[in-house]
Amino acid sequence: MTTNPTWILKRHSSGMPIPDDFSFEENAVPTPRTGELLVRTLWLSVDPYMRGRLSPAKNYAAGAKIGDIMRGGGVGEVMASESSLFNVGDIVQADDFGWQPYTVVAADTALRLDPAAAPVQTSLGCLGMPGLTAYFSLLNVGRPKQGETVLISAASGAVGQIAGQIARIKGLDVVAVAGSDQKVEWCKTIGYRTGINHRTVENITEAVAAACPNGVDVYLDNTAGPIHDAAMMNINLFGRVVIVGTVALADRFDEPDIGPRHLRRILVSRVRVEGFLLDDFESDYVSARSQLLEWYREGALTAREDISHGIESTPHAFIRMLKGENFGKQLVKV
């Protein structure tokens, strides 16, 4: 290939991103410099955190500037190596792939994959960032105790499906909140006791109370918005709320999340509300990946994938994920 069709950020998104926020341009195949790898992209990941990169507002992830190549997690085959760490033909995963068929990544940020251990795209899902997020947010921040009730929003998504299964493995009472009856029913097949379709219930607070008759001990919040408020109204004494994501705000990212103030409830019930960023647990990635892989190979952990095909489909896959139209981990097979 002599050209490299690439998605570029054309403008920052003021509401829900739309395809016209991106432009599809023909670029040259990049040349790796010392310490870099030229990689042929096999899989791309699109994830909720990327919404923050489409805003000029300050965020924990560096924002993309107008004219920048869109970037995210990816898996690919090394085509040229300027590093002693990798050889041509190695399959690698890294978090800074461009939205393009050929990309350059720094060798010291790449992870060599063993295709015999698990399908390589699982390094972008249950065995990668979403799986690690589920693992650490639930176990290290939520700190659930045997038999406690765990409520998880976006329960069929990349993080939620793994967190729910880890909760089941740990003997917890786990309840799903998802965006369709089909998603709720699927969540029950992987270990959720019951679930709530937040798009159809008349009163989400009452629905959470009915699904969690003993209250909520740990709430894994992947959405923000009204589901968060409903969880707070049902939180138990010494409950824990882990703020993992705010995908429900994707269409109003730069606006305040207006809703009830829960300070009195936090005070009276001594609730701990804590934000979660995966980078804080980097020193424990190896052991967590090992545990996730063990569960996966035992059949205790499964993962549903929602796959779009072709580099040209990447913005559409990203937007449908933000809208909750995906069913499972959203991937692009390049």
Q: Which residue has tokens 């560096």?
A: 62
Flag whether pLDDT at 52 surpasses 90: no
Helical pair 226-233 and 204-211, crossing angle rounded to 10 deg:
50
Q: How many CB atoms lie within 10 A of CB 9?
A: 22
The per-residue DSSP string of 254-300 comes to: TS-------HHHHHHHT-EEEE--GGGGGGGHHHHHHHHHHHHHHTS
Band (207; pLDDT cuts 50, 70, 90):
very high
Return the pLDDT at 87: 98
Report which residue type is found at 96: D
Please list the residue range(s) of the chain that carry CATH number 3.40.50.720: 129-279
Q: Percentage helix, strand, coil, to 5, in the chain?
A: 35, 30, 35
Rounded distance between C-alpha atoms, residue 333 and residue 121, angstroms = 9
Please list the residue range(s) of the chain that carry CATH number 3.90.180.10: 3-124+304-333
Band (215; pLDDT cuts 50, 70, 90):
very high
Return the pLDDT at 62: 65
φ, ψ of residue 241 to 5 degrees: the values are -120, 120
Superfamily of domain 129-279: NAD(P)-binding Rossmann-like Domain (3.40.50.720)
Return the pLDDT at 281: 98
- DSSP, res 69: B
Express each pLDDT in 164-176 by its tens digit.
999 999 999 999 9
Q: Is-contact 83 37, C-beta < 8 A?
A: yes
On whether the 3-124+304-333 domain is CATH 3.90.180.10, my answer is: yes
Express each pLDDT in 246-282 by its tens digit.
888 877 766 777 788 899 999 999 999 999 999 999 9
Express each pLDDT in 112-128 by its tens digit.
999 999 999 999 999 99
Q: Is-contact 330 306, C-beta < 8 A?
A: yes
Q: Residue 129: helix, strand or coil by DSSP?
A: helix
Partnered with residue 76 across adjacent β-strands are: 41, 92
Rounded distance between C-alpha atoms, residue 16 and residue 14, angstroms = 7
Q: Is-contact 184 161, C-beta < 8 A?
A: no
- DSSP, res 121: G
Return the pLDDT at 247: 86
Q: Residue 224: helix, strand or coil by DSSP?
A: coil
56-to-172, 281, 327 alpha-carbon distances in Å:
40, 27, 29
Express each pLDDT in 134-167 by its tens digit.
999 999 999 999 999 999 999 999 999 999 999 9
